[in-house]
């Protein structure tokens, strides 16, 4: 349901994503990992039609991200990294706006909002201003925005970042439940999360794909835990040093986070 062919994006002299290709099918949950600045967010922003690629293209749910971007956005639920929302609105008002923009009206809108508030456990904060919500609730309101139109394709940029362990568990369970008839890309720094919810895994580094496989195959190929594999693939250092600090390259380039 997602076909990516040779995507490339640079910000000035910095090449954030360089010739990235992969595909994700229905029922797949793809774990997108890599150090900060690897190009994960930029790739996801291109898939969600927020950024226009310099070269290459992709199709999402059969629609081209450049020529048919409105159709792509209609079929896509996108949760951005820092969960942008309108702080001066209440959660209800915000979700109403999202429904309007997505053409969900009248009684359907009321039902959709009730259903999603239940799913994302935000019923208690629906009348609070988004700007006053805690980080966890804010992210769940963002998740509600992402899921409200029941999209066939989901792109989630670090959906569990900033959540407490219980909330993380809930969100992972939610993603797993959603996976069956959908196609989901989840970016994360937490490798145990990849193990818990993903059946596919892509490791990105410096704008390119270093590995595209399943967590199990990677373990067999490279050996060691996922942390070791991550270290080997993104720094070239040998595995077996998983005690060492997690690789956060000092030269992590800012471009990838744009």
Residue ranges in contact with another protein by CB under 8 A: 45, 48-52, 70-71, 73-74, 76, 78, 80, 82, 84-89, 93, 97-98, 100-103, 145
Nearer to another protein, 76 or 229 (CB): 76
Q: Which is closer to another protein, CB of 149 or CB of 168?
A: 149
Question: Please, what is the minimum distance in Å from the beta carbon of residue 128 to another protein?
Answer: 13
Task: Give me the least distance between CB of 32 and another protein, in Å please.
Answer: 17
Half-sphere exposure of 46 (CA within 13 A, CB side): 30
For the sheet containing 208-213, what is the strand order?
A: 76-79, 153-157, 183-187, 29-33, 200-205, 208-213
Minimum Å gap between C-beta 76 and another protein is 7
Identity of the residue, 93 or 249, whose beta carbon is nearer to another protein in the bound complex: 93
Distance from chain centroid for Cα 179: 14
Contacts of 185 (CB under 8 A, 6+ apart): 2, 24, 30, 32, 44, 47, 154, 155, 156
> In angstroms, what is the minimal distance from the CB of 152 to another protein?
14
> Who contacts 165 (Cβ-Cβ below 8 Å, separation ≥6)?
none
DSSP structural state of residue 256: G
Q: Which is nearer to another protein, 156 or 209 (CB)?
A: 156
């Amino acid at each position: 349901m997602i076909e990516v062919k040779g995507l490339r994006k640079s910000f000035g002299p910095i090449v954030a994503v360089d010739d990235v290709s992969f595909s994700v099918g229905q029922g797949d949950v793809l774990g997108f990992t890599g150090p900060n600045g690897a190009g994960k967010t930029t790739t996801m922003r291109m898939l969600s039609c927020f950024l226009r690629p310099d070269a290459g293209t992709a199709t999402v749910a059969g629609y081209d991200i450049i020529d048919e971007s409105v159709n792509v956005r209609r079929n896509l639920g996108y949760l951005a990294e820092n969960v942008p929302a309108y702080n001066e609105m209440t959660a209800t008002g915000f979700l109403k706006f999202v429904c309007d923009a997505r053409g969900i009206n009248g009684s359907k809108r009321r039902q959709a909002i009730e259903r999603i508030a239940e799913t994302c456990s935000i019923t208690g904060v629906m009348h609070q201003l988004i700007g006053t919500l805690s980080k966890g609730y804010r992210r769940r309101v963002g998740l509600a925005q992402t899921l409200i139109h029941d999209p066939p394709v989901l792109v989630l940029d670090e959906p569990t970042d900033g959540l407490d362990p219980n909330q993380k568990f809930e969100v992972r369970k939610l993603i797993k439940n959603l996976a069956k008839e959908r196609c989901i890309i989840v970016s994360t720094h937490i490798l145990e999360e990849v193990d818990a919810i993903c059946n596919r895994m892509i490791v990105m580094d410096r704008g390119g794909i270093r590995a595209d496989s399943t967590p199990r195959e990677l373990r067999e190929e490279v050996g060691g835990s996922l942390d070791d594999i991550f270290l080997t693939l993104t720094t070239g250092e040998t595995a077996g040093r998983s005690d060492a600090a997690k690789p956060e390259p000092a030269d992590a380039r800012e471009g990838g986070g744009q």
